[in-house]
Structure 1
């Protein structure tokens, strides 16, 4: 598997070298924005104990919420595949969109017009300043992968990191089966 450059719509996969980082241990991040000045992404495989209704009481919706990253964890973000229903949606790539009119979204959720496989919610986001992500890639904190999933909204987050390491092959196959907590070994 060749080394890819980061770009909007690609995935960042945490290298085994950052297993001791609580925020990014085994993280798979969807890059929602990638410019010369900044990068924004959302962690796809870290579900929280919250639902949307827990965080926004006037929304009657029990969809799961995920940890998006360590930045602005008091804000709720979302990616979806329903841009025709949400004004202001920004295309990430391949039918995946970020954000949009929250008032319209609340109405859709309260009327039960969306299903969980249409949208994913995140508390916070992951962000990098100019050149920061590139430096972290050079330091072997991340590798870039194609987003080759059929639907990121229905992923089994339990094996997501392991599957990406197995797909990369080589020495990554050894790390794919490493225990989550080395102290239990």
Structure 2
């Protein structure tokens, strides 16, 4: 399987509860050793300004932490979009993921204004061991779709599951109309 880094994993109705129910995961890293990503549609009630005030001005609304996933919830990851990839070379704390998307080390200095065009901070992450994600995809728990930069900084992240499905072609787009509880239909 090709690397899924830079793609979205969209939870299918096969995941009917738990932390991945109706989640949209941006894959940060995927290789033979496993996969790592962050859930991009789960804002938390914790304001970044309260914990990392020097970073708050760089964040896109909502200016809060996001629940990145059930693994290491005490670990904080910052995912950013650079204005262009040549700017990334000027950021000593930058690690490229795909295109304009990368990780920024929050222990270093914040980027200068204009160096990043979007930033989100995640508490925890989603992780899979070798072959685990591929098995889940084979069992139709996830659909792999192309990510758009705007997905990472959506001003309405709670709608992202519906929005990403709605823009797909074919039958996949109809999942966006699935009610929260299909048995209550």
Same fold (TM over 0.5): yes
Q: Measured at CA, do residues 180 and 21 of structure 1 come closer, stay the same or move farther in structure 2, by a change above 3 Å? A: same
State the Cα distance separating 1:162 from its structure 2 match. Answer: 1.3
- The corresponding residue for 2:50 is 54
- The corresponding residue for 1:89 is 94
Q: Which runs of 4+ in 1 moved over 6 A?
A: none
- The corresponding residue for 1:64 is 64
- The corresponding residue for 1:16 is 13
Paired residues for 1:1-185 under 5 Å: 6-18=3-15, 20-56=16-52, 59=54, 61=56, 63-82=63-82, 83-84=88-89, 86-100=91-105, 102-105=107-110, 113=113, 118-150=118-150, 152-182=152-182, 185=185
State the Cα distance separating 1:144 from its structure 2 match. Answer: 0.6
State the Cα distance separating 1:143 from its structure 2 match. Answer: 1.0
TM-score (structure 2 length as normaliser): 0.80
- Equivalent pairs counted in the alignment come to 175
Larger strand fraction of residues: 2
Q: Measured at CA, do residues 114 and 179 of structure 1 come closer, stay the same or move farther in structure 2, by a change above 3 Å? A: farther
State the Cα distance separating 1:113 from its structure 2 match. Answer: 4.3
Query: Any gaps of 5 or more consecutive residues in structure 1?
Result: none
Q: Measured at CA, do residues 121 and 160 of structure 1 come closer, stay the same or move farther in structure 2, by a change above 3 Å? A: same
Once structures 1 and 2 are overlaid, which stretch shifts more, 132-141 or 89-98? 89-98
Q: Measured at CA, do residues 183 and 53 of structure 1 come closer, stay the same or move farther in structure 2, by a change above 3 Å? A: farther
Question: Is 1:27–1:43's contact at 8 Å kept on the other side of the alignment?
Answer: yes
Measure the CA separation in 2 of the matches of 1:23 and 1:38.
19
Deviations 1:90-145 (A, max 9, x none): 1111111113352313xx5xxx9479952110000011110000000011110110
